[in-house]
Amino acid sequence: MHLFTSESVFEGHPDKICDQISDAILDAMIKDDPKCRSGCETFVTTGLVLVSGEITTSTYVDVAQVARGVIKDIGYTKPEYGFEYRTCGVLVAIDKQSPDIAQGVNKGGAGDQGLMVGYACRETPELMPLPIMLAHKLARKQAEVRRSGDMPYLRPDGKCQITVEYNEHHPKRIETVVFSTQHDPDVEHKDLKNDCIEKIIKPVLERYVDKDTIYHVNPTGKFVIGGPVADAGMTGRKIIVDSYGGSVAVGGGAFSGKEPMKVDRSAAYMARYIAKNIVAAGLADECELQLAYAIGIAEPVSIFVDTHGSGTLENGYLKDLIRELFPLTPRGMIKHLNLERPIYRQTACYGHFGRTEPDFTWERTDMVEKLKEEAGKRPKVRRVVLT
């Protein structure tokens, strides 16, 4: 038996505000200019939004209007929240992409060096680790009841954390739930805790909680001051939340604000797509994949695949299949996954993986049959059973 924990953060968390603004700006550009280059970074603090980075585009985007629209959509619409979409200042400090970088990217090379990780396993129908999937579903549920008015005293900021008890490698039950949500000042803690457990936590986690599950709801007793007033935020600070919840290694770069010629994003999506198809094809119960790139070079400099002993093929054969069946250059990945579209703001909350929305093309399992066909031509793993 062992315990493993993952967390998610709500859409009003300062770092997630920044991710959403950066990706909303990218969407506004890529809609009219699919070949734009974007490394958009956002910073928020009390009363201030700073949008910066390196952007090259042929279209015009009203950055301040986009930023205010995101903040309004999230729910920072009242002055008493301390951060409000109409009154916060928006500063813009954007420059063009360096021509030294552009000369390598424009010919089809990777936008930077780096390593990207993809992963899939059989713990959930989404082929994702259970703790991070449950944490994201809990965060979504908070937004749902807040927006519906079912719990009208909730505010946008917050985070949650799920600790799962495993028997061997199989999830058994939830040991601990940590749920911290911003709220109006006039609600009693006991009422908030009861409502959160009954209206948010149990409906989402009912299958896995039991009489011994521990609940920590707003464990300090009070969470009125939140959002950028309570804590500064920046784009790209939640890469473990965005990926696999710490179940496996993470790559070197964040996702939000980056157009897909940047392999930080496109190769991370392709790595997930490959790993998911391998598991869905029955070639492994668990698959971890690393792709590594050099700036200006199109093909990856290395491919590492590890099925943690669960594969039907040797890892070396799987690596050969990956090279044969999947495009791994930036342009090849963009075309295969149809990434030059305004699809990115929706990725900026509740994780980039394990999603069912149609725009998440890297979650398709359309390579399963081809993988099965080609895998059938390779020798299977010989396992020795010790007696």
Structural contact between residues 228 and 44, judged by C-beta atoms closer than 8 angstroms:
yes
285: which 2 tokens?
């119960």
Please give the Cα distance from 381 to 284 (Å, whole number).
Answer: 11
Angstrom distances, CA of residue 323 to CA of 11, 116, 183, 214, 297:
37, 16, 51, 46, 16
Structural contact between residues 182 and 155, judged by C-beta atoms closer than 8 angstroms:
yes
Q: What is the DSSP letter of 197?
A: I
Structural contact between residues 294 and 110, judged by C-beta atoms closer than 8 angstroms:
yes
253: which 2 tokens?
């770069």
Please give the Cα distance from 184 to 220 (Å, whole number).
Answer: 15
User: For residue 187, how many C-alpha atoms fall within 13 Å in the half-sphere facing its CB?
Assistant: 22
Known catalytic residues? 13, 15-16, 41, 54, 159, 223, 231-232, 237-238, 258, 262, 264
- Chain centroid offset of residue 140 CA: 13
Please give the Cα distance from 14 to 44 (Å, whole number).
Answer: 7
Q: What is the DSSP letter of 128?
A: S
Beta strand spans in 35-107 (E): 37-45, 48-56, 89-95
Please give the Cα distance from 36 to 261 (Å, whole number).
Answer: 9
Please give the Cα distance from 27 to 203 (Å, whole number).
Answer: 33
Listed residue (241, 249, 257, 258) closest to 112, CA to CA? 258
Please report where in the chains the tokens 């090259």 appear, as a residue.
Answer: 56
Residue type, 117: V
